[in-house]
């Protein structure tokens, strides 16, 4: 009996020691993020980021809905999410500097086509735009599929998001234990610290070709992969839903990349749905980045945004403003 009692006491002491160590490290992590990241000490890790409908909140920049100018609603992912270092120099800012419009912007980092549809559905009646500009990206095909995103190390947001499956919206976590991501990390800065480190390391290894990721199979010609075909069909259905929700409001779309096989699929989808798809923008933007010797393969600097915005402005002027000039 005393032996069992000693085992229980020792186990209890070990448990208390582990909890105490965790709490000490948690306090250190919170102090670190407060000093380095300016995150309030007692704030949740995902404070202000969660959204019951969209998965996580994007960023909105609203114009005047009563304006007599042509109202343009820009919707997209991280390329449309306002970069604080590019204040006044995002592509839609450049559009507004070149033509007389009233811009409305909603961008969400890592957003899928479904999340963009949900944003349009939520705000279009409030804005009543004259034109919708949809910014898409090749990773949409990954983020539109739970089967693909959970197998991706390159384009996995590691956050519960909505997926469109069988005509219904389902909220799912794209890999690993849901408990850690959904219930522990929001409350533990320490768990968040290690999760971010692991996520970035996996993405780095995948980017260097040291870790196989689903994109490797898709981009080496395995477009017959059933999950990719299913995601392409889902993407087309979602863009069709955007087309229907916009009604008579015209839509123009562009992608930020022209990599294959995604670019060809987008061209096919937008052609079938009779939506103007501006295929010149990726080359113009990335060529501007290279001429400016900008070393960033993920997002545009002001060079890319300027090239995209200038092209968009001229396209809108030619096709939508002729009768207003």
**CATH number of the domain enclosing 100:** 3.40.50.1110
Separation between Cα atoms, residue 203 and residue 11, nearest integer Å = 38
Say which residues have a Cβ less than 8 Å from residue 61's Cβ, sequence separation at least 6: 82, 103, 104, 105, 106
pLDDT of 235 higher than 90: yes
Q: Using alpha carbons, select from 122, 128, 126, 129 the residue that is nearest to residue 108.
A: 122
Same domain, 99 and 162: yes
* Residue where the block lists tokens 């976590």: 173
Label residue 48 by pLDDT band (50, 70, 90). Answer: very low
Which of 27, 43, 59 finishes a domain? 43
Q: What is the pLDDT of residues 158-179, one digit of tens each?
A: 888 999 999 999 998 887 766 6
Question: In terms of DSSP H, where are the helices of the chain?
Answer: 2-36, 91-98, 113-127, 140-143, 146-149, 178, 189-207, 214-219, 226-246, 262-272, 281-291, 302-320
Label residue 295 by pLDDT band (50, 70, 90). Answer: low
**Which pLDDT score is estimated for 144?**
97
- Output the pTM of the full model: 0.86
SS3 (DSSP) at 58: coil
For the chain, the straight-line distance linking the first and the last C-alpha, in angstroms and rounded, comes to 94
Same domain, 114 and 237: yes
* Containing structural domain, residue 27: 1-43
- The two structure tokens encoding residue 298: 């993920």
Same domain, 236 and 106: yes
Same domain, 121 and 243: yes
Same domain, 131 and 238: yes
Say which residues have a Cβ less than 8 Å from residue 239's Cβ, sequence separation at least 6: 113, 134, 253, 269, 270, 273, 275
Q: How many domains does the chain have?
A: 2
What average pLDDT does the chain have?
88
Same domain, 16 and 1: yes
Same domain, 22 and 88: no
Same domain, 162 and 293: yes
CB-side neighbour CA atoms (13 Å) of 268: 11
Same domain, 21 and 161: no
Same domain, 205 and 162: yes
């Amino acid at each position: 009996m005393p032996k069992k009692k000693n085992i229980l006491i020792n186990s209890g002491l070990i448990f208390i020691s582990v909890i105490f160590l965790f709490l000490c490290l948690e306090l250190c992590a919170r102090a670190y993020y407060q000093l380095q990241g300016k995150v309030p000490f007692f704030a949740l890790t995902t404070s202000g980021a969660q959204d019951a409908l969209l998965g996580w909140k994007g960023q909105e920049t609203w114009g005047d809905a009563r304006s007599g100018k042509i109202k343009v609603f820009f919707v997209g992912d991280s390329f449309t999410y306002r970069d604080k270092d590019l204040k006044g120099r995002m592509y839609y800012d450049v559009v507004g500097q070149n033509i007389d419009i009233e811009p409305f912007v909603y961008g969400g980092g890592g957003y899928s086509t479904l999340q963009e549809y949900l944003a349009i559905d939520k705000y279009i009646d409030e804005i009543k735009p004259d034109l919708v500009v949809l910014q898409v990206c090749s990773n949409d095909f990954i983020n539109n599929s739970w089967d693909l995103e959970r197998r991706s190390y390159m384009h996995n947001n590691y956050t519960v998001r909505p997926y469109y499956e069988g005509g219904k919206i389902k909220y799912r976590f794209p890999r690993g234990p849901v408990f850690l991501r959904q219930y522990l990390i929001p409350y533990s800065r320490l768990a968040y610290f290690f999760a971010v480190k692991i996520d970035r390391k996996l993405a780095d290894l995948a980017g260097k070709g040291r870790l196989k990721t689903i994109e490797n199979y898709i981009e080496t010609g395995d477009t017959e992969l059933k999950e990719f075909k299913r995601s392409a069909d889902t993407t087309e259905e979602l863009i069709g839903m955007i087309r229907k929700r916009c009604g008579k409001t015209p839509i123009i779309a562009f992608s930020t990349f022209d990599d294959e096989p995604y670019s060809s699929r987008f061209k096919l989808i937008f052609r079938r749905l009779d939506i103007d798809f501006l295929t010149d923008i990726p080359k113009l933007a990335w060529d501007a980045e290279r001429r400016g010797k900008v070393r960033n393969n993920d997002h545009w600097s002001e060079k890319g945004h300027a090239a995209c915005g200038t092209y968009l402005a001229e396209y809108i002027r030619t096709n939508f403003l002729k009768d207003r000039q």
